[in-house]
Structure 1
Amino acid sequence: MTTSPTVHDTLPDDHFVRALHDDVREGLTADPKTLPPKWFYDERGSELFTRVTRLPEYYLTRAERQILRAHAPDIAAQTRARTLVELGSGSSEKTRTLLDALTAGGTLRRYAPVDVSRTELASAAAALTEAYPGLDVTATVADFDRELPLPEGPGPRLVAFLGSTIGNFDPADRAAFLGRLSAALTPNDAVLIGADLVKSPATLVRAYDDAQGVTAEFNKNLLRVLNRELRADFDPGAFDHVAVWNENAERVEMYLRARFGHTVRLPALDLSVAFAQGETLRTELSTKFRRPRLTTDLQRAGLNPTHWWTDPQNRFTLLLARPTDQTG
Structure 2
Amino acid sequence: MPEGSGALAPARSDFVAEALNGLTAPRKSLPPKFFYDDAGCTLFGAITELPEYYPTRTELGILRDIAGDLAALVPPGAALVEYGASDEAKAAILFAALDVDAYVPIDIAHQALTALKSRLRWSHRAVALHPIAADFLAPVKLPAAIGAMPKLGFFPGSTIGNLDPPDAIAFLRQVRTTLGVCASLLIGVDLEKSPDILVPAYDDAAGVTAAFNLNMLTRLNREADADFDLDLFAHRAVWNDTAKRIEMHLESLVAQSVRVAGRTIRFRAGETIHTENSYKFSIERFAGLATRAGWHVARSWTDAERLFSVHLLS
Taking structure 1 as the reference length, the TM-score comes to: 0.90
Does the CA-based 8 Å contact 1:155-1:188 persist in structure 2?
Answer: no
C-alpha distance after superposition, 1:219-253 (max 9, x if no partner): 11111000011121101110111110001110000
Partner of 2:80: 84
CA deviation after TM superposition for structure 1 residue 151, in Å: 4.3
Cα distance change, pair 26–51 in 1 and its aligned pair in 2 (3 A) = same
Aligned to 1:141: 133
Where does residue 178 of structure 1 map in the other structure? 172
SS at match of 1:33: coil
**1:186 CA drift (Å):** 2.6
User: In structure 1, how many angstroms separate the alpha carbons of the residues matched to 2:254 and 2:41?
Assistant: 29
CA distance in 1, matches of 2:67, 2:9: 39
Deviations 1:173-211 (A, max 9, x none): 112111111222333210000010000011101100111
Moved segments of 4+, more than 3 Å = 13-16
User: Number of residues paired by the alignment?
Assistant: 309
Contact 2:232 2:252 in 1 (8 A): yes
Asked whether 1:127 is paired with 2:84, we answer no
**Is the partner of 1:57 in helix, strand or coil?**
coil
Deviation at 1:94, TM superposition (A): 1.8
RMSD: 1.5
Q: 2:56 aligns with which of 57, 61, 73?
A: 61
| 2:56 is aligned with 1:98 | no
Shift of 1:50: 1.1
1:142 and 1:149 in contact (8 A); partners too:
no
Residue matched to 1:114: 106
2:214 equivalent in structure 1: 220
Shift of 1:133: 2.3
Which residue in 2 is equivalent to 1:253? 247
Question: 2:312: which partner in 1?
Answer: 320
Distance 1:63 1:151, change over 3 A: farther
Partners of 2:9 and 2:124 in 1: how far apart? 34
Structure-to-structure mapping, 1:183-194, within 5 angstroms: 183-194=177-188
Using the aligned pairs only, state the percent identity.
41
Please say if 1:289 is aligned against 2:271: no
Deviation track 1:268-305 (CA, whole Å, cap 9, x = no partner) reads 3x211000001011111100011121111111111011
Contact kept in structure 2, 1:129 and 1:136, CA below 8 Å: no
Moved more, 190-199 or 35-44: 35-44
CA shift for structure 1 position 35: 0.5
1:40 corresponds to which residue?
Answer: 35
Q: Residues 94-148 of structure 1: CA distance to partner in whole angstroms, max 9, x if unpaired?
A: 211111111xxxx321111111123221221221121122221111122122223
